[in-house]
């Protein structure tokens, strides 16, 4: 899974248009893409034609779960936009999260920790759209991402953002965080403007091979597509905007060169049908409390994963799980045990054993 964040503190430089259409191009090339909108303005969410009424249906829930040390069903946040493109949208309430998480240890790692969940394991790419500042949310994206794309429109302020980003990455690196690879992308380019041409030459000189050769031209069809809640490859695949974002993908991922972009509409899924109800059970008549913990609840012990004891001392818990592979243990009066009835196991990182469960839905 490759995590790519799009960031620049300057507003209106093409972050959202880049994030949305990059995700669209990759999905149209048969890659499985998760789009994560962590900008409280939720522009990308609406550019996909999605509106979320409830904060807890949006990426807000990811930070909220970290804050409250709660488990989270990440799949419940996912919306199918195209066949290969799943969106976790944003909500204005995300603007309050930085203040709420002030002083919480490792809060800047909330997103990168959430992305280790097995619910993301099937995705080839995660594309993150960020707000126009280098605050808490953007820092979370920078720590979660392996690659950072910084769009630059033709303005002095845009270039100003370059040094700010580089400074922040240096500071983070000195604090022991991994630095993502940074590449810059010229957007909103108007080749008829002499100023734009001079700007491009100047940027090439100062950024060298960190600058993508691909330049995203100004193209009204990109604006129209966003207003219609579509990616450019659905709205007008022949537009310059579509050609430029396809070229960007080819430059980023040469193996995809020449692959036609074919976006398919999602197959409607009934969330109730899409889940299997799995019965977990362990015999422990002597126990006072047994919890179920696993990759499906970020290994957290809380009330909702407390199992129920029957008269014979068998502890049970029924859980709806979507298709995928899960790792779990039972916690019997505080002691972590693997499932004695399940032969599928792996060694965990601390010398214990995890049980493995593979769920297939029909
Ligand atoms: N290549 C382009 N051609 C024409 N219009 C564009 C292009 N890229 C972006 N736009 C338009 O410019 C405006 C700003 O773009 P966008 O929303 O992507 O910027 P942003 O950096 O995400 O802004 P913010 O910082 O507010 O999140 C939007 O109206 C968008 O439709
Ligand atoms: Mg934006």
> Is the per-residue pLDDT at 61 higher than 90?
yes
Q: Give the list of residues 6+ apart from residue 103 with CB closer than 8 angstroms, or none.
A: none
Interval 200-248: pLDDT, tens? 898 888 888 999 999 999 999 999 999 999 999 999 999 999 999 999 9
85 plus 176 within the same structural domain: yes
- What tokens appear for 66 in the block? 């970290």
| CATH code for position 295 | 2.60.40.10
Residues of the domain holding 281: 277-359
236 plus 310 within the same structural domain: no
248 plus 346 within the same structural domain: no
User: Rounded to whole angstroms, what are the CA distances from 201 to 121, 138, 150, 153, 196?
Assistant: 41, 28, 17, 13, 9
The answer to whether residue 92 sits within a structural domain is: yes
3-state secondary structure of 334: coil
pLDDT band at 51 (very low <50, low <70, confident <90, very high): very high
pLDDT band at 157 (very low <50, low <70, confident <90, very high): low
The answer to whether residue 261 sits within a structural domain is: no
The predicted structure's pLDDT at residue 125: 97
Ligand nearest to the CA of 155: 1
Q: State the average pLDDT over residues 161-169.
A: 77
> Is the per-residue pLDDT at 316 higher than 60?
yes
| CATH code for position 110 | 3.40.50.300
> Is the per-residue pLDDT at 47 higher than 90?
yes
Interval 68-118: pLDDT, tens? 988 888 888 999 999 899 999 999 999 999 999 999 989 999 999 999 888
pLDDT band at 362 (very low <50, low <70, confident <90, very high): low
Is the distance from the beta carbon of residue 15 to the nearest atom of ligand 1 less than 6 Å?
yes
When divided into structural domains, the chain yields a total of: 2
Neighbours of ion ligand 2 (CB under 5 A): 15-16, 43
For the chain, percent of residues with pLDDT exceeding 70: 96
233 plus 281 within the same structural domain: no
Nearest protein Cα to ligand 1, atom 30: 223
89 plus 118 within the same structural domain: yes
Q: Give the list of residues 6+ apart from residue 286 with CB closer than 8 angstroms, or none.
A: 313
> Is the per-residue pLDDT at 272 higher than 60?
no
Q: DSSP assignment of 266-320, as one string?
A: PPP--TTTTEEEEEEEEE-TT-S-EEEEEGGGTT---GGGB-EE-TTSEEEEEEE
Nearest protein Cα to ligand 1, atom 3: 218
291 plus 197 within the same structural domain: no
Interval 132-155: pLDDT, tens? 998 999 999 999 999 999 999 987
> Is the per-residue pLDDT at 43 higher than 70?
yes
Is the distance from the beta carbon of residue 235 to the nearest atom of ligand 1 less than 6 Å?
no
Q: State the average pLDDT over residues 325-329.
A: 92
Is the distance from the beta carbon of residue 248 to the nearest atom of ligand 1 less than 6 Å?
no
Rounded to a whole number of angstroms, the distance between the first and last alpha carbons of the chain is 26
94 in Cβ contact with 58 (< 8 Å): yes
| Closest ligand 1 atom, residue 216 Cα | 1
CA of 43 from ligand 2 middle (Å) equals 6
Is the distance from the beta carbon of residue 187 to the nearest atom of ligand 1 less than 6 Å?
yes
> Is the per-residue pLDDT at 268 higher than 70?
no
Q: 0.95 exceeded by the pTM?
A: no
The answer to whether residue 265 sits within a structural domain is: no
Is the distance from the beta carbon of residue 47 to the nearest atom of ligand 1 less than 6 Å?
no
| Closest ligand 1 atom, residue 18 Cα | 18
250 plus 314 within the same structural domain: no
The predicted structure's pLDDT at residue 267: 66
Tell me how far apart the alpha carbons of residues 172 and 313 are, in angstroms, rounded to a whole number. 51
The predicted structure's pLDDT at residue 113: 93
Q: How many CB atoms lie within 10 A of CB 87?
A: 27
Q: Give the list of residues 6+ apart from residue 208 with CB closer than 8 angstroms, or none.
A: none
| Closest ligand 1 atom, residue 11 Cα | 25
Helix, strand, coil shares, percent, the chain, to 5: 35, 25, 35
| Closest ligand 1 atom, residue 189 Cα | 1
Nearest protein Cα to ligand 1, atom 15: 14
- Angle, CA 314 vertex, CA 310 and CA 317 arms, to 5°: 80
- What tokens appear for 167 in the block? 């400074």
235 plus 281 within the same structural domain: no
The predicted structure's pLDDT at residue 50: 94
- Angle, CA 112 vertex, CA 298 and CA 332 arms, to 5°: 15
Q: Which of 137-141, 261-265, 275-279 has the lowest mean pLDDT?
A: 275-279
CA of 58 from ligand 1 middle (Å) equals 22
pLDDT band at 314 (very low <50, low <70, confident <90, very high): very high
Most confident of 35-39, 76-80, 195-199, 297-301: 35-39
The answer to whether residue 264 sits within a structural domain is: no
Q: How many CB atoms lie within 10 A of CB 82?
A: 21
Alpha helices in the chain (DSSP H): 15-28, 43-47, 60-68, 97-100, 110-114, 136-144, 156-174, 194-207, 220-227, 232-235, 240-252
Q: State the average pLDDT over residues 241-267.
A: 92
> Is the per-residue pLDDT at 291 higher than 90?
yes
pLDDT, the chain, mean:
90
Mutate to test the pocket of ligand 1, among 7, 9, 12, 134 (most ligand atoms within 8 A of CB): 12
290 plus 251 within the same structural domain: no
Is the distance from the beta carbon of residue 111 to the nearest atom of ligand 1 less than 6 Å?
no
Q: Give the list of residues 6+ apart from residue 254 with CB closer than 8 angstroms, or none.
A: none
314 plus 205 within the same structural domain: no
Nearest protein Cα to ligand 1, atom 11: 223
């Amino acid at each position: 899974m490759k995590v790519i964040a799009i960031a620049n503190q300057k507003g209106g430089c093409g972050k959202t248009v880049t994030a949305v259409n990059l995700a669209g191009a990759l999905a149209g090339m048969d890659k499985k893409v998760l789009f994560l909108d962590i900008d409280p303005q939720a522009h990308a969410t609406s550019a996909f034609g999605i509106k979320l009424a409830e904060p807890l249906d949006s990426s807000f829930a990811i930070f909220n779960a970290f804050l409250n040390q709660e488990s989270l069903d990440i799949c419940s946040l996912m919306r199918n936009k195209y066949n290969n493109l799943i969106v976790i949208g944003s909500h204005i309430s995300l603007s309050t999260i930085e203040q709420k998480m002030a002083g919480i240890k490792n809060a800047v790692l909330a997103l990168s920790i959430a992305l280790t969940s097995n619910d993301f394991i099937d995705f080839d790419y995660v594309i993150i759209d960020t707000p126009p500042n280098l605050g808490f949310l953007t820092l979370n994206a920078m720590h979660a991402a392996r690659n950072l794309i910084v769009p630059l429109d033709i303005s002095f302020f845009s270039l100003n953002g370059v040094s700010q980003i580089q400074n922040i990455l240096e500071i983070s690196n000195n604090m022991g965080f991994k630095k993502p690879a940074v590449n810059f992308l010229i957007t909103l380019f108007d080749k008829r403007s002499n100023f734009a041409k001079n700007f491009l030459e100047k940027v090439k000189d100062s950024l060298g091979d960190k600058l993508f050769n691909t330049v995203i031209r100004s193209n009204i069809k990109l604006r129209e597509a966003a207003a219609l809640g579509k990616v450019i490859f659905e709205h007008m695949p022949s537009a310059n905007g579509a050609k430029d974002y396809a070229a960007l993908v080819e430059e980023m991922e040469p193996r995809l060169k020449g692959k036609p972009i074919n976006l398919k509409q999602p197959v409607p899924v009934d969330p109730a049908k899409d889940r299997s109800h799995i019965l977990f059970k362990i015999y422990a008549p002597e126990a006072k409390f047994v919890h179920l913990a696993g990759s499906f609840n970020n290994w957290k012990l809380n009330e909702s994963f407390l199992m129920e004891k029957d008269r014979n001392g068998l502890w049970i818990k029924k859980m709806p799980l979507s298709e995928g592979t899960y790792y779990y243990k039972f916690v019997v009066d505080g002691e972590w045990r693997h499932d004695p009835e399940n032969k599928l196991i792996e060694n965990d990182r601390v010398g214990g054993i995890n049980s493995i469960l593979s769920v297939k839905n029909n």
